Chains A and B, each alone.
Chain A
Amino acid sequence: MDASEQDVLQQALAWRGEGRKVAIATVIATWGSSPRPVGSQLAVNEDGAMVGSVSGGCIEGAVVREAQEIMAGARPRLLDFGVTNEQAWEVGLACGGKLEVYVEAVE
């Protein structure tokens, strides 16, 4: 993890401090070519503002949509993205890699 990841946690904490709902997405595992390594993080708040990344921009939209539900009270979720997954075609993981992303709310 480098400083840009630290900014993600700091920003998530700052948003919480302002009373906003926040979710954090983390890359758990990758297979094949994947733009961001395991441990990469994205934080998103209830207004849709985000900091950090879990891919090169391919799956962030889908992750943010899931994050909104989780912030609204759903359980943490493990998301699969890959070329064998229909959702990946939808969101377009062009690199052909596969990855798992864990999304949780800050309670």
Chain B
Amino acid sequence: MKAALLGQLVADRAARRPAALVTDLESGIQALIHEDGVAGALALDDAALAAGRAALAADRSGLLPLSGPRLFLQAVVPSPRLILVGAVHIAQALAPMAALAGYGVTVVDPRRSFATDARFPAFELTTEWPDEALARLAPDARTAIVTLTHDPKLDDAALGIALNSPAFYIGSLGSRKTHAARLKRLTEAGFSDAALARIHGPVGIAIGALSPAEIALSVLAQITAVRRAGSKPGEERAA
């Protein structure tokens, strides 16, 4: 691999720009595919380019399904993100766990006594209102959102934006009773049952979690199940 190609891949990843490195396994010659262009010494015909773009869109590394020389495609796509609304005790456990699992974590809480650098060293922290923060962060299909405040003013503001986004996971902390009240408020705010069915609430999978770290583990397990196995709300019981 040319050092310049490696540098480009690292830069693309940092800029959240999807890229794919295609290697001819016979010659070792490589090409770099983006959504809007192709570079490098390896010439790709239309069929190879189309197969490469399809694999990149599906975030799927592997051998391209073509006859001729074996071409391997390495998809280099942006990391998933996790937005936590509520700089609470559970968030202090969930943020570092999610970072270990590869998520870029942002913590949102306008309450300055909670949102302190001392409580969340090394994480992006904002004291914007949740609806403003989420609108700015623009959740995409690689984003998970979890509300943890128990305060309808904060959680509902976040959920309003989350439900209008393509976020792959939306979870809300709270008991069944709290969640039922939340669904009622959001219904009155105009959200359909189908939209509200996207919310995992009560949040997390059933592992008998008690401590903040255990609840964080339960939530991260559920996010993983949705991301990797396509679980839907209600398929697991709450923690």
- Residues of A participating in the B interface, judged by any CB pair closer than 8 Å: 1-4, 6, 9-10, 12-13, 16, 24, 26, 28-29, 37-39, 41, 75-76, 78, 102, 104-107
Bound complex: CA A28 to CA B76 (Å): 14
Closest to A75 in B: B28
Residues of A near B74 (CB, < 8 A) are 1, 26, 39, 41
Bound complex: CA A39 to CA B72 (Å): 9
Give the size of the chain B interface in residues (CB under 8 angstroms): 26
Residues of B near A13 (CB, < 8 A) are 3, 6-7, 10
Q: Within the complex, what minimum Cβ distance (angstroms) separates B224 from chain A?
A: 11
Closest to B7 in A: A13
Bound complex: CA A54 to CA B9 (Å): 19
Q: Do the beta carbons of A9 and B28 come within 8 Å of each other?
A: no
Q: Within the complex, what minimum Cβ distance (angstroms) separates A30 from chain B?
A: 10
Task: Pick 9 A–B contacts, CB within 8 A, sort by A.
Answer: A1-B59, A2-B101, A9-B9, A13-B3, A26-B74, A39-B74, A39-B75, A75-B28, A106-B2
Bound complex: CA A29 to CA B63 (Å): 8
- Residues of B participating in the A interface, judged by any CB pair closer than 8 Å: 1-3, 6-7, 9-10, 13, 23, 25, 28, 59, 61-63, 72, 74-77, 79-80, 101-104
Bound complex: CA A37 to CA B62 (Å): 10
Residues of B near A78 (CB, < 8 A) are 25
Q: Do the beta carbons of B13 and A9 come within 8 Å of each other?
A: yes
Q: Do the beta carbons of B7 and A1 come within 8 Å of each other?
A: no
